[in-house]
Amino acid sequence: MWWLYVLAGLLLVVVIVIIANIKIVPQSRAFVIERLGAYHCTWETGIHVVIPVFERIAKQVSLKEQVADFPPQPVITKDNVTMQIDTVVFFQITDPKLYAYGVENPIAAIENLTATTLRNIIGELELDHTLTSRDTINAKIRSILDEATDPWGIKINRVELKNIKPPAEIQDAMEKQMKAERQRREAILRAEGEKSSNILVAEGKKESQILEAEAEKQAAILRAEAEKEARIKRAEGEAEAILKINEAQARSIKLINEAAPQDAYMTLKKLESLEKVADGQSTKLIVPSDLQGIAGLVGTVVETAKDAKSNK
């Protein structure tokens, strides 16, 4: 019966070995499998079994996008300015087999390739162009790295220049230049603002003067119309008064004519007219043609008066 225990023990060992060699590949990872020291296959997500002794997991590869932040590298521009530039590379492994067997240290290879490519590109640019052409530099580096890393099973998705640090004296000069440029722009904006303000003030004054002139014109027109109306009213009043006087005189003359006045009454009226003329300041005296008749009448009146007095 002892052989039953041996068989059971052997079965238990086989089960333990099988369980120990069951491998589960998680999501976004891949296992590179070697059989007898040579590449056999690549395991993707799922459950797999390794054949003991014959097979082994040569490399576990992450298929996620990865980030490599490289330290600053000294580079020299076309105008002989030394700068420190550090880069960030975003890459993804697309072929685990090439990644495992293409290069010994892929990250170090990418770092060195990035540094040399960066030096070549920056060496063709001047300082000012370097500072303003980040997108162009990034695109060139990415294109060169992507082509160079294809045999390694790596896809370069993006390259970014993280920091560009020029020498301290150049940075100070750049800051002064930027400050002067800001002051110049500020002066231009202030001058343009003052110009616009002066234009608006002038336009406002002009408009105000136009309105004042228009108002004065309207006022003058209204005054002239009022004076015209007043003169018309006065003329109408005077005409009406003259008309009334003439009508009164006409009625008076009519009444006198209807009453058939005597010559003595008419003579007295003439004397009254002479009295009014004499009261004036004129130096000329108009003597009526019938002055003798008037004198005779006066004499008669005087004699009549004397006779009346003597009778008394």
The pLDDT tens digits of the residues spanning 182-193 come to 888 888 888 888
> Is 71 part of a structural domain of the chain?
yes
Q: Are residues 58 and 69 in the same domain?
A: no
Give the Cβ contact number of residue 141 at 10 Å. 23
Q: Which of 144, 166, 188 is the last residue of a domain?
A: 166
Number of domains in the chain: 3
State the DSSP code for 51.
Answer: P
Q: Are residues 37 and 86 in the same domain?
A: no
Residue 113 pLDDT class (50, 70, 90 cuts)? very high
> Is 197 part of a structural domain of the chain?
no
Q: Are residues 134 and 58 in the same domain?
A: no
The Cα–Cα gap between 312 and 309 comes to: 5
Q: Which of 166, 189, 207 is the last residue of a domain?
A: 166
User: What per-residue confidence (pLDDT) applies to 302?
Assistant: 45
Judged against a pLDDT cut of 80, whether residue 29 lies above it is answered with yes
Section 53-80 average pLDDT? 89
Section 48-77 average pLDDT? 89
For 128, the token pair is 């000012």
User: What per-residue confidence (pLDDT) applies to 265?
Assistant: 54
CB 54 within 8 A of CB 29: no
> Is 298 part of a structural domain of the chain?
yes
**Residue ranges making up the domain that contains 293:** 268-307
User: What per-residue confidence (pLDDT) applies to 88?
Assistant: 93
The answer to whether the pTM exceeds 0.75 is: no
H or E stretch including 40? strand 38-43
Q: Are residues 160 and 82 in the same domain?
A: yes
Q: Which of 166, 190, 214 is the last residue of a domain?
A: 166
CB 45 within 8 A of CB 29: yes
Section 193-208 average pLDDT? 84
> Is 199 part of a structural domain of the chain?
no
Q: Are residues 114 and 152 in the same domain?
A: yes
